[in-house]
Structure 1
């Protein structure tokens, strides 16, 4: 097993060269790196930190605008998880506004990291893109790149097989025996099934990782979490890979709560409780049972494997 980390060039694809050019331009102004939860955003910010020899500030529910503003005088700056700078409540945008005002007058390179769902919301309600000279999107990984990524994390891989086709290669047809009225069952080739097997179908391992890429949207953290659910399997077929699901239905308030979690990735339980109200404890219990979140030390964290399901629930409820 080789524990080779992902690099910014792989994650950014065609956006890599413009990103490097922006890092090289001392007059470029503040940069925004935008990516899905667990999509590799931190790796891109690692590159910026090394390239600029920058101070690094990581925001969470306990570290906010003051830490960013204090670090602005110390040379180049990289700030993780800037979506922690606001809450969807009255007065909840003040820390964000304070930081954006400070960035507008900064005379040092600043690179910031943003959750893509938070960015979409903030661009709709605060036109946040105008505060940054450059926006770089983390593209995620292809099926081939995910295969190499998983190989770097696992000592061995299972045997890959295609999903079985339902149609048999042979079928039976009743043949009439002249005027006797009798019939006999005769085996005949099932031409449709034979053609399906002759079609240009991917190699079993390609099929598995194409499905993994499709389920995870190419986000390496989500893909790894989905993989870990099957890492002990001796044989793995594409259909075995599934995101967490639940038979429960979620109303608009539940979807709104999930959207907050999706856009923050981790959030203080007290913040959610204050925002949602009396129903919160019951909602959190449902989310935990469904495998959408984990709760530790008063912090609610989005489970990487659940990102696709949670995103669909919030989009179905048309929650921005």
Structure 2
């Protein structure tokens, strides 16, 4: 049974396939290896039909865009291996624009080069000018929501010969990745009723004045069962239903799917209803929280100083801790979006009609 509101800088040098890494590591190397996965074929936005075709174009500049946590790094890992010598660097929050020299360059997280405020485009304008003026092969990655905003305000796509997008993952690819990362796997089981069904029940909590909430159980079609059945054209196995549910909850985003799996699966067995969004989807942020959440989704990681400059009228400490308490963010000197909070954050921003 499902309840509707269930609350539960690095740089590297690579030559001949070898890489030397220096500087501040953005995440531990072991975690980098765990999170590197095979992305689905990239979708062409402009230019080449595939990443391989884009990399085969000498001197071309390439932009890879994706939702937060959806696999930009894995795509740039492929680019790094394909290029014959060059540099790789990651733009940190409030970091400066990378230099573009004569060697091929791979740059992660270029969305950190701007701030959504007056005068916040100097760094990104400088970098885009360098890319446009260079004949060096440059491969970059960008947060999709920052890219949309920058394309509308700064024509960010203009210097790039090829723009490709990381698409959502299908349930079978999510299943392969989860199986590869988690050993041993739990046993996949049917619901406690002993059988799967295309119908399930949703419990709504209806607040009543001067009384406790009234629980109303309503039968609904089980979307995950039906999706699995359509894929197999047969009665689906429990594991197929689990991964269909995981795809739906995550929007096909592997980083989000992994966060949901880690949050929800801890025992020796798992049934489809064990999986739920870590963040309450019914949470409605106020105006100030919406502004902070919009910046966090577009930047993924942002310093307190930048946030204070972008949302000067927001009571920042109070708002940050409220969003952290609801599971959207982790709060330190750098405020970071949590993968499990992304789907509910996007729904909240959509309800608030946030414009990227």
TM-score (ref. length: structure 1) = 0.81
CA positional deviation for 1:12: 2.3
Aligned counterparts of 2:74 and 2:96: Cα–Cα separation in 1: 21
State yes or no: 1:219 paired with 2:253.
yes
The aligned residue for residue 78 of structure 2 is 47
The corresponding residue for 2:349 is: 314
- Corresponding position of 1:236: 270
Higher helix share: 1
What residue number does 1:101 align with? 129
Paired with 2:199 and 2:238, the residues of 1 have a C-alpha distance of 19
1:149 CA displacement: 0.6
Following superposition, the deviation at residue 293 of structure 1 comes to 0.7
Return the offset for 1:77: 0.4
Q: Distance in 2 between matches of 1:248 and 1:140?
A: 25
Q: In the alignment, which of 4, 8, 22 is matched to residue 54 of structure 2?
A: 22
The Cα of 1:159 is off from its aligned counterpart by 2.0
Q: Is the 8 A contact 1:12 1:137 kept in 2?
A: no
From the superposition, tell whether residues 156 and 300 of structure 1 become closer, same or farther in structure 2 (CA, over 3 Å): same
Instruction: Determine whether 1:114 maps to 2:146.
Output: no
Q: Give the distance between the partners of 2:351 and 2:199, measured in 1 at CA.
A: 35
Task: Tell me the residue number matched to 1:269.
Answer: 304
Whole-angstrom CA distance in 2 between matches of 1:219 and 1:293: 18
- TM-aligned CA deviation for residue 3 of structure 1: 6.7
User: What 5-or-longer segments of structure 2 have no aligned partner?
Assistant: 1-32, 201-225
Q: Partner of 1:206 in structure 2? A: 240
Aligned to 1:286: 322
The answer to whether the 8 A contact 1:246-1:290 is kept is no
SS at match of 1:117: helix
Specify the structure having the higher radius of gyration (Cα). Answer: 1
Tell me which residue corresponds to 1:63: 95
Q: Is the 8 Å Cα contact of residues 294 and 301 (structure 1) preserved in structure 2?
A: yes
CA distance in 2, matches of 1:14, 1:300: 30
Q: TM-score, normalised by structure 2?
A: 0.73
| Match among 134, 151, 172 for residue 162 of structure 2 | 134
Which of the residues 249, 257, 260 maps onto 2:292? Answer: 257
Deviations 1:282-306 (A, max 9, x none): 110111100111123x010100111
Is the 8 Å Cα contact of residues 264 and 276 (structure 2) preserved in structure 1? no
Cα-to-partner distance string for 1:244-286 (whole Å, 9 max, x where unaligned): 1166431233212101000111010121123223511111011
Alpha-carbon RMSD across the aligned residues, in angstroms, is 2.5
Return the offset for 1:46.
1.0
